[in-house]
Copies of this chain bind each other. A is one copy, B any other.
Amino acid sequence: MTRRMIILTEGNSNPHTAKTACCLIRYKREEVVAVLDSTQSGTTEQALGVGADVPFVSSLEQAPDANTLLIGIAPPGGKIPESWRSVILDAIGRGMDVISGLHDFLGDDPEFSAAASRQGVTIRDVRRNDEKTIARRTGLREECLRIHTVGHDCSIGKMVTSVELTRALNARGHDTKFIATGQTGILIEGDGIPLDCVKADFVSGAAERMVLEHQHHEILMIEGQGSLVHPSYSGVTLSLLHGCHPHGLILCYEIGRHKVTGIDHLAIPPLADILKLNESLASISFPCSVIGISVNSRRATPAEADAERDRLRDEFGLPVADVFRDGPGELVDAILQLQQQRLKD
């Protein structure tokens, strides 16, 4: 059955809070029927920055051909707003499946699960997992190139960079697999492990398991999580960095982001320090460097974006590109150059 989704973002239709909605519209357009937010009208493009042909609707009735309700936001703390319960129950009553990436599993809610079982529909909690693998750092196929996106904060474009580079590498004929490590990436790719919801001892092992399972590909593009300098989530970041054994890093950076997301009294350290920290922690078994910088300039003017790109090139002597504004070519070249260099060594 083809998935035809209505995405629930009620009252939260902005690119930051509704990251999941934006990325599904961008990368799974063919599965998105509409976005449910009664406070909005027209198409999603203005509010979300994507979806010139995706309508906002104010009720499930207005999208009768949808067969799936996707929770399209990640509220702080992961709890579902009380007012959404009736929407979810309505969807289940209409025979729709429900997909959620919340930390609070909808399938564990007695009312939702009883309703779903009555209607014979599925509640899929994307973050649910039972990972129990310890990382062992053995069995790696060194001909498979492992590239990992890291960043200076949360929600700055690590996933988008990974997907865009995967597509560009495949378009150039290099068999590349996107390794999804978060809920949105998993919904796009169709597989992956939600690392932020794995028990802490097994996060590194889960990352390693994905690498081992997919290393028959030529290149793996491994989605980063959080940041080493975001103290709430840095452990997820480091477990992933150590577990995925990267050969090269793409450092993601958003222009105008100066404070740690959610901790306004904490400044993000200089990018040079973050780069050094990532390289130092990544190089635990073999040297691993940042090979390019992916700039997110969504909040910058074209002139500001160009100036910042030039400044970063000067400071770091690395390829720098906004994958949308400049295209991914320069970063793809950097990846292929690392591949060539490793084949020679």
Question: How far is it, in angstroms, between the C-alpha of A266 and the C-alpha of B283 when the chains are bound?
Answer: 12
Residue of B nearest to A236 (CB): B200
Q: Are B238 and A234 in contact (CB under 8 A)?
A: yes
Q: Are A231 and B284 in contact (CB under 8 A)?
A: yes
Q: Taking the nearest CB of chain B, how far is it from the CB of A19, in angstroms?
A: 15
Interface size range on A against B: 35 or more
Q: Are B197 and A134 in contact (CB under 8 A)?
A: no
**Which of B200, B204, B262, B284 touches A203 (beta carbons < 8 Å)?**
B200
Q: Are A199 and B196 in contact (CB under 8 A)?
A: yes
A229 contacts B by Cβ under 8 Å? yes
Q: Are B197 and A281 in contact (CB under 8 A)?
A: no
Contacts of A231 in B (CB 8 A): 135, 137, 204, 242-243, 284-285
Residue of B nearest to A197 (CB): B199
**A interface, CB within 8 angstroms of B:** 76-78, 103-104, 132, 134-138, 195-201, 203-205, 228-229, 231-240, 242-243, 262-263, 265-266, 269, 277, 280-281, 284-285
Q: Are B103 and A199 in contact (CB under 8 A)?
A: yes
Q: Are A262 and B198 in contact (CB under 8 A)?
A: no
Q: Are B265 and A134 in contact (CB under 8 A)?
A: no
Q: Taking the nearest CB of chain B, how far is it from the CB of A229, in angstroms?
A: 6
Question: How far is it, in angstroms, between the C-alpha of A229 and the C-alpha of B242 when the chains are bound?
Answer: 9
Q: Which of A196, A203, A280 has the most CB of B within 10 A?
A: A203
**Which of B138, B232, B238, B265 touches A235 (beta carbons < 8 Å)?**
B238
Q: Are B201 and A233 in contact (CB under 8 A)?
A: yes
Contacts of A76 in B (CB 8 A): 134
Q: Are B285 and A266 in contact (CB under 8 A)?
A: yes
Residue of B nearest to A136 (CB): B263
**Which of B195, B242, B266, B277 touches A280 (beta carbons < 8 Å)?**
B277
Additional 10 contacts, C-beta under 8 A, given A134-B262, A197-B199: A76-B134, A135-B231, A137-B231, A200-B235, A200-B239, A234-B238, A238-B238, A266-B284, A266-B285, A277-B281
Contacts of A237 in B (CB 8 A): 235, 238
Q: Which of A138, A236, A277 has the most CB of B within 10 A?
A: A236
